[in-house]
A and B are shown apart, each in its own frame.
Chain A
Amino acid sequence: MIRTRRIENITLSAITLFAAAIWVFPLYWALVTSLRRESRVVSDSAGLLPDEFNLASYIDAIVNTRLLTWYWNSIGTAVIITVVTIITSMMCAYAISQMRFPGRRVLYMVVLASFMIPAQALVVSQFILMNDLGLINTWGGIILPQLIVPVVIIVYKQFFDAVPKELREAVLLDGGGEYTLLFKVYLPLNWGITAALSIITFIGAWNAFFWPFLVATSESTMTIPVGITQVQDTFGVQYARVMSVALLAAMPVAVAYLVFQRRVTEAVMISSGVKG
């Protein structure tokens, strides 16, 4: 009985490791390819194991594409989107959660409803709007439509609701105002949530493809996910270079994830409501 249990356990672990190996293989293969010379990449004798350590295609990618510009555009827009979204959503969530004012319920219903509106179905009219505002091919054009992330308000409201009422009354009695309460009490009490929501918003903005692809059509304003699709056109089928560019594009967020793994995992769970 115990012996069959043990065999079962080992078998299951072996299957798990095998599945994980399959899952990581595409990334492994991209890395191996990127470190080979182009001639080696397409040679018949090249096997599955890493056999070269050639950084030429990485250097080539950085020197001969506008990768650094795209990094800058991605970091700049993603940081602004994250900061603005977090602050405006936090303020709005605080008012909905802690204050009583006319239109409060309607506002919350609107936020909940906007949770269901697919932004992708609005791209035509959003594009026309950005054109009217003269924001095509600008950071502003990339940023503006991405500033609405309803889940941030919903999660903040839930957590603000849970803060003990006595705390609020004590501060109000001491003569503190609503802004003091929000930034000196509610925000410090919810740093964990703020970190989680920032992570989610940042990853979403960094990886966004459809909207930046529509609004940033000149290479100088493209973000990383859009820009790297241009490289293939420039290089043709030079796979070592394409893979180098892809891995360089993936690097910042991938490294950040591996460093802050636990926080990212928590952030995803909190923002999807399964743990909170």
Chain B
Amino acid sequence: MALRSKNRLRHNLIAFSLIAPFLAIFLLVFLYPTFKVIQLSFTNAPLIGDGEWIGLDNFRRLFADRLFYTSLYNNIYFVVLTVVPTTAIALGIALMVNRLRGRLQALILATFFLPYILPVSVVTEIWAWMLDVQFGVVQPTIEAIIGRPMPVFRNPQWVMPTIAVVTIWWTNGFNVLLFIAGLRNIPTELYEAAALDGATPRQQFTRVTWPLLWPVTTLVLTLQLILQLKLFDQVYLLSQGGPFNQSYVLLLMVYREAFQLNQGGYASAVALVLFVMIMVVSVLQFQLLRIGGRK
């Protein structure tokens, strides 16, 4: 008995030594900051230094702040502009690429995936040049359609849709890959059976491909939803939230309040709202995917 409990202790010590490095980092840079941001949101602390407990004042101020609602609206607008379009485009591209074979398929797939591995600042610099109002290569096309060149990042109507286009170009390759993996997981016998039963290509898509691809579609939609709510980089680099705050988003508000206006407490309150929004979506995603039969 004594030997057993000694072995037990040894076993547990070994287990703890295995988890200790991860756990130490996790507690330090993840869990502690999570509690800290909650605590800060109830104070009037500057970015560096202590503040006083002010209860719910930050949240009262936040829910009366027009910029907060503008940011929230822009976040949702951006989600609408990107999530479903990028999923549809990715599905279309995946279906097209999946028809190809061998080297051609690898080449075309690489073409669509390459932007995804570029740093965001490379992406924004390329697009800023392409859309330059004086010399941009896209401007003649815009001029042909609306009759004049358009400074897209300085126009309130154009700024968000343009950032959405840039974002879709940048991140779409990831979704294409997920759809291709999903398509490859569909057994070919199902198509053979469908063809034997005289199904048209259209019926094959609506009766075989689409239902079996639904779990991947759900995954892509929810991953995109979470990703696009965290919008910051592209907006900061392309339009700085302007013009007239028409591309101001929550994470940009966190950045401005904390790092430029030195309002650590207020910025934490904004961050907490975003935090809760994303957690809710993530929990929904988790449930949704579980219902869909995944782990």
Which A residues have a C-beta under 8 Å from some C-beta of B? 9, 12-13, 15-17, 19-20, 23-24, 26-27, 29-30, 33, 41-42, 48, 87-89, 91-92, 94-96, 99-102, 104, 107, 110, 114-129, 131, 144-145, 147-148, 153, 158, 177-179, 182, 203, 206-207, 209-210, 214, 224-226, 228-229, 232, 237, 239, 242-243, 245-247, 249-250, 253-254, 257-258, 261-262, 264-265, 268-269, 272-275
Q: How far is the CA of A27 from the CA of B264 in the complex (A)?
A: 40
Q: How far is the CA of A262 from the CA of B181 in the complex (A)?
A: 13
Q: How far is the CA of A179 from the CA of B11 in the complex (A)?
A: 11
Tell me which residues across on chain A come within 8 A of B93, comparing CB atoms.
19
Interface of B is mostly: helix
Tell me which residues across on chain B come within 8 A of A253, comparing CB atoms.
117-118
Q: Are B126 and A265 in contact (CB under 8 A)?
A: no
B109 interface contact, C-beta 8 A: yes
B237 interface contact, C-beta 8 A: yes
Q: Are B271 and A121 in contact (CB under 8 A)?
A: yes
B283 interface contact, C-beta 8 A: yes
B31-39, B62-70, B72-80: which lies at the A interface? B31-39
Q: Are A249 and B129 in contact (CB under 8 A)?
A: no
Q: How far is the CA of A3 from the CA of B215 in the complex (A)?
A: 35
Among B15, B28, B223, B294, max chain A CB count under 10 A is at B15
B95-103, B147-155, B190-198, B204-212: which lies at the A interface? B95-103
Tell me which residues across on chain A come within 8 A of B251, comparing CB atoms.
120, 210
Q: Are B36 and A128 in contact (CB under 8 A)?
A: yes
Given that A124-B40, A254-B118 are known contacts, is A274 also in contact with B33, CB under 8 Å in the complex? Answer: no
Q: Are B181 and A30 in contact (CB under 8 A)?
A: no
Q: How far is the CB of A94 from chain B (nearest CB, A)?
A: 6
Q: Are B278 and A258 in contact (CB under 8 A)?
A: no
Given that A26-B169, A122-B271, A272-B223 are known contacts, is A249 also in contact with B117, CB under 8 Å in the complex? Answer: no
Interface of A is mostly: helix
Instruction: Give residues 100-150 of B contacting A (CB, 8 Å).
Output: 100, 106, 108-115, 117-122, 125-127, 129-130, 132, 134-135, 137
Tell me which residues across on chain A come within 8 A of B268, comparing CB atoms.
124-125
Q: How far is the CB of B176 from chain A (nearest CB, A)?
A: 10
Q: Are B117 and A207 in contact (CB under 8 A)?
A: yes
B109's nearest neighbour on chain A, judged by CB, is A265
B244 interface contact, C-beta 8 A: no
Given that A16-B100, A117-B34 are known contacts, is A26 also in contact with B19, CB under 8 Å in the complex? Answer: no
Q: How far is the CA of A272 from the CA of B219 in the complex (A)?
A: 9
Q: How far is the CB of A100 from chain B (nearest CB, A)?
A: 8
Q: Are B110 and A258 in contact (CB under 8 A)?
A: yes
Q: How far is the CA of A25 from the CA of B117 in the complex (A)?
A: 16
B261 interface contact, C-beta 8 A: no
Q: How far is the CA of A224 from the CA of B109 in the complex (A)?
A: 26
